[in-house]
Amino acid sequence: MSVSLKIDKSACTQCGKCVKVCPSGVLLKLDRGSVPQVDNIGFCIGCGHCAAVCPNGSIVHSLFPKEKIHAIDRATMPSPEQVMLLCKARRSNRSFTDKPVPFEYLDMILKAAHRAPTGGNLQQVGFTLVTDPVKLRYLVEITMNVFGRMIKKLQNPLLKPLLSKLMPNTYKSLPLFISMQEAMNNGSDPILRGATALILIHTPESDRFGIENSNIAYQNGSLMAESLNVSQVYTGFLNMAARQDKRIMKYLRIKGKIHAGMALGMPKFIYPNYIDKKEINLNIL
C-alpha cells in the first residue's frame, strides 16, 4: 500500500492530537509548539485516526481526501441510556414471518458490520449475503446432514466408550441434535428458523484475528438490526457445519473461514419487555 502523508502548516495549530492517536508512531512532535513531522511513512496502516482527530483539516493523507472526511454532530448521537436500552432489548428472536427483509435494511446492517474495527486495520473481513429461498434451504439441509452423521457416530456402540470420554460435552448435546433432526424430518427449519436472509462473516485463512474481527463485526450488525426491528439469530450450527463439510464453503464460493453469521427475518412480534440477567461476573484487580 503506497501512502503519502503531510501536514498543511498553514492550517496546523500544533495541538499534537494526531501524534497522540497514531498507533504506528508515524507522526512525531519534536518540540512544544512545533508542527508534527512525518516519519517512517511505511509503517502507516491507513487507520485514518490522524485525519479523524484533526480539528482543522491540516492532515493531507492520500487515503483520506477531504471528501472522505466527515464532521460528526455529537448532539445527534444516541444517549448512553438509549444505547443501554438497545443492548437490553436485543434478543435472539426466532419467530420470523415470511416477509423478506427490505434490502435497504440489509444494506444498513452490512454497512454497520463493515464499520467495525479490525486488527492492524487490515480490513480483511468479508460478507456473504444469501436471500434466495432455494439456497437458504440447501444450506439448512447440508448443515443437518453434518449433524445426522454426527448423531450416527455418537450413537455407534463401538465408538461410544471412546467418544464419551474424548467428547463429553458433545455427548451432552446429543438429545438436542436428535430433536433437531426430528424437527427437520417434520418439515421445520432447526438451523435458520425460516429466516429470509443470511449474512455470513468470514476472513482469509491468513487473518490472525479472524475470529475476533468477525465477531466484532457481527455485534455491530446485530445492534443495527435491533434498531431496525429486524430479528436475528446467531448461526452457530451452520458455522460449525462449515468447518466440517467443505461443500458449504464451495457452494457459497467463500475462501477462508466463516467465523460468525446471522439469520435475519422480519419478526412475528416484538418483545415488549426486557428482563434482568444474572449478576455480572466481574473480577476487579
Q: Do 59 and 141 fall within a single domain?
A: no
pLDDT band at 32 (very low <50, low <70, confident <90, very high): confident
Q: Are 171 and 71 in contact (CB under 8 A)?
A: no
Q: Do 189 and 245 fall within a single domain?
A: yes
- pTM for the predicted model, two decimal places: 0.90
Return mean pLDDT, the chain.
Answer: 92
User: In the prediction, which pLDDT does 2 show?
Assistant: 82
Q: Do 114 and 152 fall within a single domain?
A: yes
| 282 Cβ neighbours under 8 A, 6+ residues apart | none
What's the whole-number mean pLDDT along residues 158-185? 83
Q: Do 176 and 55 fall within a single domain?
A: no
Q: Tell me: the pLDDT tens digits for 12-28?
A: 999 999 999 999 999 99
Say whether 275 sits in a helix, a strand or coil: coil
Structural domain for 264, as ranges:
78-272
User: In the prediction, which pLDDT does 103 show?
Assistant: 97
pLDDT band at 1 (very low <50, low <70, confident <90, very high): low
Within a domain: 278? no
User: In the prediction, which pLDDT does 257 show?
Assistant: 95
Q: Tell me: the pLDDT tens digits for 223-255?
A: 999 999 999 999 999 999 999 999 999 999 999
63: number of Cβ within 10 Å: 15
Q: Do 46 and 103 fall within a single domain?
A: no
Residue tagged 474481527 (cell numbers): 213
pLDDT band at 262 (very low <50, low <70, confident <90, very high): very high
Q: Do 157 and 262 fall within a single domain?
A: yes
Q: Do 10 and 88 fall within a single domain?
A: no
pLDDT band at 170 (very low <50, low <70, confident <90, very high): confident
What's the whole-number mean pLDDT along residues 116-136? 96
Q: Do 251 and 163 fall within a single domain?
A: yes
pLDDT band at 167 (very low <50, low <70, confident <90, very high): confident
Residue 34 has pLDDT above 90, yes or no: no
164 vs 68: which has the higher pLDDT: 68
Residue 101 has pLDDT above 70, yes or no: yes
Within a domain: 33? yes
CATH number of the domain enclosing 14: 3.30.70.20
Q: Are 140 and 189 in contact (CB under 8 A)?
A: yes
Q: Tell me: the pLDDT tens digits for 172-230?
A: 888 888 998 998 999 999 999 999 999 999 999 999 999 999 999 999 999 999 999 99
Within a domain: 282? no
Within a domain: 261? yes
Q: Do 32 and 103 fall within a single domain?
A: no
Q: Do 98 and 53 fall within a single domain?
A: no
CATH number of the domain enclosing 262: 3.40.109.10
Q: Tell me: the pLDDT tens digits for 54-67?
A: 999 999 999 999 99
